[in-house]
Amino acid sequence: MEALGQLTAGIAHNYNDLLQAIVGSLEVARSQNIQTVSDEAITQALYTTRRAGELIAQLMIFARPNSRRTHETFTPTKAIDLAKVVSDVVSICSRTFEPRIEILTTIKPNQYAIGDSMQMEQVVLNLCINARDALAEVERNDPTIRVDLETVDVDDRSTAGDAKSGRYACLSVSDNGPGMDQETQAKIFDPFFTTKEIPGGTGLGLSTVFGIVRDHRGWIDCDSELGVGTRVSLYLPTSEAPDVQSPVTHVSATSGTETILIIEDEEMIRHTAQQMFEAHGYSTMTAADGRSGIELFDRERQYIDVVLLNQSLPGMTGRQVIKQLRRKHSLAKIIIFTGVGSDLGEFIGADGLIHKPVSMTTLMSKIRSVLDRDG
């Protein structure tokens, strides 16, 4: 699994590089008001690209070595409306599943949990797809999927393993399909385990569900009986409804006149990053690897205000570049630019971290915040 994680991380990094080039190019085109390009098309392309980036974030679940699969890697902080998430997914399933399959719901409104709405959409969708596929294995007159969302009180710690007692949102997806025996049930959350015929399944759906629910500090139960059906229930700590805030007025990307050193091995990224910065008044210098980036910084230190540093570079890693820059230039401002799921604490000496793909507004805002920071 660790070898698979390394492979996945490499794929995700390269894919995010491509996404970043797309985002940068599209936003530069829109900022220049090119008349021959539809603004609506550009906006849609940007939206789709960001969604693809979010999907890659899900792939990165498998890029974490087991020793690092902790809540420190992904910490949900936003209250999400589970009832809306479930209703939206059920609506999609109702339109796309076979008409013969009846989808019944009992969704208690105003159910909130701390989490990520897209990840929870993926969880619900995976569970519904598994139920649909199970129903395809048998012929019956009343193929049915039930989706229930309610609040339950958990006070028996033995029931929830190491979960804390309290109120939980319980989301369950059940079907009246063929069911599973005990041996199969014991393996359903294992990566790459599947009962579907090739190429029917990858065996990653339920293991992804397991990882997401775990990261949301919840747990999963599965009850199944041969000839009766299967019920998968997940439990998530409840949350108060989020505070209603006034609509945020869009603020244009912050400009500046400082000089930014871009250390990035991918030419597409360097070029589009230059365009994005220079379109907002900044000057830029570029280097294609860590060693030449350090040499350039040594020569031009008096002119460089901040370094945008790729995490993965040929010859030297981003961490090694930070270490050498800090040894000679303790006050240098350095921002890690990465396509791999990481957090700032993993880069000692860095002043900020930006994940690819990033919008121009977010990139300019982050650069500006680090430049304006004292020290």
In order of their start, the domains of the chain are 2-58+249-371 (3.40.50.2300), 79-237 (3.30.565.10)
- Asked whether residue 150 carries a pLDDT value surpassing 60, the answer given is yes
At 336-360, the pLDDT tens digits run: 998 876 678 888 999 999 988 888 8
Residue 48 pLDDT more than 70?
no
Residue 72: the pLDDT is 38
101-122 pLDDT tens trace: 999 999 988 888 888 887 888 8
Task: Quote the pLDDT of residue 66.
Answer: 44
Say if residue 310 is exposed, middle or buried (CB neighbours under 10 Å; 0-12, 13-18, 19+).
buried
Least confident residue range of 82-86, 198-202, 353-357: 198-202
Strand ranges for the chain from DSSP E: 79-81, 102-107, 112-114, 144-154, 166-175, 219-225, 229-237, 259-263, 283-287, 306-310, 334-338, 352-355
So what's the pLDDT on residue 334?
96
**Range 172-195 average pLDDT:** 79
Question: 352 near 344, Cβ under 8 Å?
Answer: yes
Strands (E), 213-344: 219-225, 229-237, 259-263, 283-287, 306-310, 334-338
Length of the chain in terms of residues written: 375
Q: In the structure, what pLDDT confidence band is assigned to residue 17 with cuts at 50, 70 and 90?
A: low
Average pLDDT, the chain: 79
> Residue range 274-291: average pLDDT?
94
Q: Which of 107-121, 204-218, 357-371 has the lowest mean pLDDT?
A: 204-218
pLDDT of residue 26: 75
Predicted confidence band of residue 16 (pLDDT cuts 50, 70, 90) = confident
In percent, how much of the chain has pLDDT > 90? Answer: 29
Q: Is the previous residue joined to 109 through a cis bond, with omega within 30 degrees of 0?
A: no
For residue 121, the model assigns a pLDDT of 86
**Residue 331 near residue 374 (C-beta atoms within 8 A):** no
Count CA atoms within 13 Å of residue 368 on its CB side: 15
Of 67-81, 209-223, 317-331, minimum mean pLDDT range: 67-81
Q: How far apart are CA 22 and CA 266, in angstroms?
A: 13
Amino acid at residue number 183: E
Q: Residue 288: pLDDT above 90?
A: yes
- First-to-last alpha carbon distance for the chain, in angstroms, is 42
Residue 14 has pLDDT above 70, yes or no: no
Q: Residue holding tokens 């240098």?
A: 332
Tokens of 350: 């860095």
Kindly tell me if the per-residue pLDDT of 63 is higher than 70.
no
The string of pLDDT tens digits covering residues 232-264 is 999 998 888 775 554 444 444 578 999 999 999
CA separation for the pair 17, 270 (Å, rounded) = 10
